[in-house]
Amino acid sequence: MSDFVSVASDGDVAVVTIDNPPVNAMSFHVREPLHQALAALRDDPSVAAIVIACAGRTFVAGADITEFGKPVQQPELRAVIAVLEAIAKPTVAAIHGTALGGGLELALGCHFRVADSKAKLGLPEVKLGLLPGGGGTARLPRLVGAEKALGMIVSGAPIGAAEALEAGLVDAMFDGDLLAQTVRFASELVVKGGPFLPVRNRNDRLGKADLAAFDRQAAELAKKARGLEAPIACAVAVRNAVTLPFDETLAAERELFLNLVAGDQSRAQRHLFFAEREAAKGPAKDLSRRKIARVGVIGAGTMGGGIAMAFANGGFPVTLLETSEEALQRGLATIDKNYAVSVARGSLAEDAKRERLGLFKGSTDYADLADCDLIVEAVFEEMAVKQEVFGRLDAVAKPGAILATNTSYLDVNAIAASTSRAQDVVGLHFFSPANVMKLLEIVRAERTAPDALATVVELARGIGKVPVVVGVCHGFVGNRMLAARGAESEALLLEGATPSQVDRVFTEFGWPMGPFQMGDLAGLDIGWRNRKARGLTAVIADALCEQGRFGQKTGSGFYRYENGSRTPVPDAEVEALIRAKAAEKGTTPRAIGADEIIERTLYPLVNEGAKILEEGIAARASDIDVVWVNGYGFPVGKGGPMFWAGLEGAGKIVERLEYWHQHTDRPIFQPATLLRRFAETGSWEAAARP
């Protein structure tokens, strides 16, 4: 056999075990021996049934994503499944862990599937800009029906074993020794006798498909695609299962798959898949980790409450500290309400809510933080306030406790300097709402100890965050680049663009919303306060704030929001204000095209990313992509600003930045040296080589 596929016999049941750590991906070195083993077992008269199982922590978690974009090595997964499905003897997949993508498709090639009760099953290919390419779009609908299959494949979300059993995707669910019970399941099939119907021949669920309902569901899902091709292709492929013969469905699936896998969107999404994992590796794996048993959070406001929930959601006991009992109770009440909303939505069970709330301990006394292993402050964003808090923490925290600041911008070195333990200080920049947003910028200060850093990186993954280690500068990676992206916003308005025109260019690019809508959502008063603190002005945004137009929270900002609606309505008053401010500046409005808007917002975004790389604030370009996709809604189909720069053409970006630099002399348009090198070399890695 091979190191990756072995065969053992348990009576007349053959057990094929795949062993390809870490996730049993269906790599070529698995497909080839598996294909051979199945053919041999098919022809072996002593074998009455076949079980396919996996060693390690999971059943096959998919095709090997690293193989995409390279020449295909035969046998392909589809050929392996075809051999499997043609076997007349009963075949059973023993599923534990996560049977995903090509892994679930392999299992669909069996007559039966049995699952450990904690297993998950799904077809997440859409998250890679693909669709199931191993027959999943033809076989899954035959087991669970077209509409359930459509939802699973277009969302890419896995389902649990119990739901899979209920839906008909698995035939039995076990606890305990999965393999032994699967072998017994297979032996009983032998006794019962066949014939055993392959999935491809099961058409009864399809016959009941309500195509009109299916099309309505597909149309609803298409609205959320936001320019992504894969969700649309997934719906087409699943619909084919209802309307076409099996083999034609497979052929159509193959064509759709080949089109997607070669496209920029899938390349971008596969880039992000590996980029997130690369970023989460943080410092070297071999560093020791500090034990984190209890977390303290200072501040029970929006950020502090969200951060506390993020840790409680990860199972950590949390001590939540506020300055007064009234503020503390208000914060705890908000947390309770947030969990209640999740329960009402059905995304959290009532007992889970009680369990999580049971993890909270409220206090107004710093001394109560003495038993915390990690303490995160989320107090007012002012250096003096933060330094006072850290000074007090230095006095009460136990030795070795990690002291983290949630600052969005401030110098973590200066905060660390207000303690006697700078080696224990790190930044944990959560994004609001902290219990929801995935991104966590982990700020490595000059003296942050490597083991402290490694501890919080691993902890971040453990609570479901996407960690990116960043260096100290004003705004770290995300907010510093956000400032560059927004630097021209006022100029664009004064020169003739309208807020809705700029926002429309962004949404057509694939952003969930544009900068002006985003400002209204977050609250214009936040930027206004920051500008005043730094002696800066923004004539239009300041004027709006002076009129009390803070955005959605006040019913108007750059847009009007009627009767509490969140729908932005262009406001003639705002456009008149813009015209008046332009006249004061002697600026004559002109027509501004979409290209110019992109060049004056997204090109500076890329350029600032290049400067951040040059300064070592980010370790790699893909980290910056992870920040922007997970923290700011950069469209996944474009892979993040640094990946997109390659799609857009770095040479073109440099040329246009030079043009705007000549016309405005503004520093954000001065092309970074590393961007020029990227234009010459074609990759950020090559550009960074001396």
Give catalytic residue positions: 105, 125
Q: How far is the CB of 457 from ligand T1G (least distance, A)?
A: 13
CB of 97 to ligand T1G, least distance (A): 8
**Residue span binding ligand T1G (CB under 6 A) among the ranges 79-87, 132-140, 343-351, 519-527:** 132-140
Residue keyed to tokens 């076989």: 139
Q: How far is the CB of 383 from ligand T1G (least distance, A)?
A: 37
Residue 156 or 515: the one with the smaller Cβ distance to ligand T1G is 156
Q: Give the nearest distance from C-beta 133 to ligand T1G in angstroms.
A: 4
CB 467 within 8 A of CB 279: yes
CB 178, CB 117: distance < 8 Å: no
What's the min distance (Å) between Cβ of 100 and ligand T1G? 4
Q: With helix as H, strand as E and coil as C, how does 295-352 read?
A: EEEECCCHHHHHHHHHHHHCCCCEEEECCCHHHHHHHHHHHHHHHHHHHHHCCCCHHH
**What are the tokens at 644?**
């997109």
Closest approach, Cβ 84 to ligand T1G, in A, equals 14
When binding is defined by CB under 6 A, the residue of 24, 64, 410, 502 that contacts ligand T1G is: 64
Comparing CA positions, the residue from 272, 628, 638 lying closest to residue 485 is 628
* Amino acid present at 389: V
Instruction: Out of 33, 90, 129, 132, name the contact with ligand T1G by CB under 6 A.
Output: 132
**Least gap, CB of 261 to ligand T1G (angstroms):** 8
Measured CA to CA in angstroms, residue 35 lies from 80, 125, 425, 447, 547 at distances of 5, 23, 54, 54, 71
Q: Which is nearer to ligand T1G, 22 or 195 (CB)?
A: 22
- Is residue 631 near ligand T1G by the rule CB under 6 A? no
Tell me: does residue 133 bind ligand T1G (CB under 6 A).
yes
Note every long-range contact of 202-207, with CB atoms under 8 Å and residues 24 or more positions apart, other chains counting: 202/142, 202/143, 203/142, 205/141, 205/142, 205/143, 205/144, 205/145, 205/146, 205/168, 206/141, 206/142, 206/145, 206/146, 206/241, 206/242
Instruction: Please report whether residue 138 would count as binding ligand T1G according to CB under 6 A.
Output: no
Contact 142, 168 (CB under 8 A): no
Decide if residue 22 touches ligand T1G (CB under 6 A).
Answer: yes
Whether 294 and 404 have beta carbons less than 8 Å apart is answered as no
98 binds ligand T1G (CB under 6 A): yes
Q: Does 242 bind ligand T1G (CB under 6 A)?
A: no
Q: Where does residue 177 fall: left (phi above 0), alpha (psi -120 to 50 degrees), or beta otherwise?
A: beta
How remote is the C-alpha of 245 from its chain's centroid? 36
Residue 308 in contact with ligand T1G, rule: CB under 6 A: no
CB 179 within 8 A of CB 134: no
Q: Are strands 91-95 and 112-116 parallel, antiparallel or unpaired?
A: parallel
- Where does residue 224 rank: exposed (0-12), middle (13-18), buried (19+ CB within 10 A)? exposed
Q: Tell me if 101 contacts ligand T1G by CB under 6 A.
A: yes
Of 25 and 34, which has the nearer Cβ to ligand T1G? Answer: 25
Shortest distance, CB of residue 273 to ligand T1G, whole angstroms? 7
Candidates 56-64, 322-330, 549-557, 634-642: pick the segment binding ligand T1G (CB under 6 A): 56-64
> Per CB under 6 A, does 467 bind ligand T1G?
no
State in Å, rounded, how far the first CA of the chain is from the last one: 47
**CA 648 to CA 396: how far, in whole Å?**
52
Is 125 a binder of ligand T1G (CB under 6 A)? Answer: yes
> 375 with 293: CB under 8 angstroms?
no
The CA distance from 349 to 339, in Å, is 9
Q: Looking at beta carbons only, is 62 or 640 nearer to ligand T1G?
A: 62
The binder of ligand T1G chosen from 51, 80, 93, 100 (CB under 6 A)? 100
Q: Could you write out the DSSP letters of every residue in 117-132?
A: TT-EEE-GGGGGT---
Q: Does 61 bind ligand T1G (CB under 6 A)?
A: yes
Q: With respect to ligand T1G, which residue has the nearer C-beta, 297 or 459? A: 459
Min separation Cβ 146 and ligand T1G, Å: 18
**Residue 65 is a binding residue for ligand T1G (CB under 6 A):** yes
Would you count residue 161 as binding ligand T1G (CB under 6 A)? no
Q: Which stretch binds ligand T1G (CB under 6 A): 130-138, 246-254, 367-375, 394-402?
A: 130-138
Give whichever of 68 and 196 is closer to ligand T1G, judged by the CB atom: 68
Is position 335 an interface residue for ligand T1G (rule: CB under 6 A)?
Answer: no
- For ligand T1G, which is the closer residue by CB, 64 or 373? 64
Number of residues that bind ligand T1G (CB under 6 A): 25
Shorter beta-carbon distance to ligand T1G: residue 151 or 589: 151
Q: How far is the CB of 489 from ligand T1G (least distance, A)?
A: 37
- Is residue 440 within 8 A of residue 413, CB to CB? The reply is no
| Helices 450-462 and 264-281, axial angle in degrees (round to 10) | 130
Indicate the residue among 121 and 645 with the shorter CB distance to ligand T1G: 121
> Considering the rule CB under 6 A, would residue 134 count as an interface residue with ligand T1G?
yes
Q: Which of 30, 63, 199, 627 binds ligand T1G (CB under 6 A)?
A: 63
- Interface characters, 658-687, with ligand T1G (x: CB under 6 A): ------------------------------
CB of 134 or CB of 609, closer to ligand T1G: 134
Enter the tokens of residue 602. 């997204």
Among 92, 128, 268, 606, which residue sits at the site for ligand T1G (rule: CB under 6 A)?
128
Please state, in angstroms and rounded to a whole number, the distance separating the CA atoms of residues 300 and 331.
5
Answer yes or no whether residue 529 interacts with ligand T1G by CB under 6 A.
no
Dig out the tokens for 666 from the structure.
């503004």
Going by C-alpha positions, the residue among 1, 9, 15, 16 that lies closest to residue 46 is 9
- Tell me how far apart the 2 most distant CA atoms of the chain are, in Å: 92
Of 119 and 484, nearer to ligand T1G (C-beta) is 119
CB 604, min distance to ligand T1G, A: 32
Using rule CB under 6 A, residue 25 touches ligand T1G: yes
CB 635 within 8 A of CB 511: yes
Structure tokens at 184: 């017994």
Segment contacting ligand T1G by CB under 6 A, of 122-130, 139-147, 218-226, 419-427: 122-130
Q: Residue written as tokens 């970023």?
A: 279
Of the residues 34, 53, 62, 456, which one makes contact with ligand T1G according to CB under 6 A? 62
Q: State which of positions 247-286 bind ligand T1G (CB under 6 A).
A: 274, 277
Q: Which is nearer to ligand T1G, 108 or 524 (CB)?
A: 108
What residues line the site for ligand T1G (CB under 6 A)? 22-23, 25, 61-66, 77, 98, 100-102, 105, 124-125, 128, 130, 132-134, 136, 274, 277
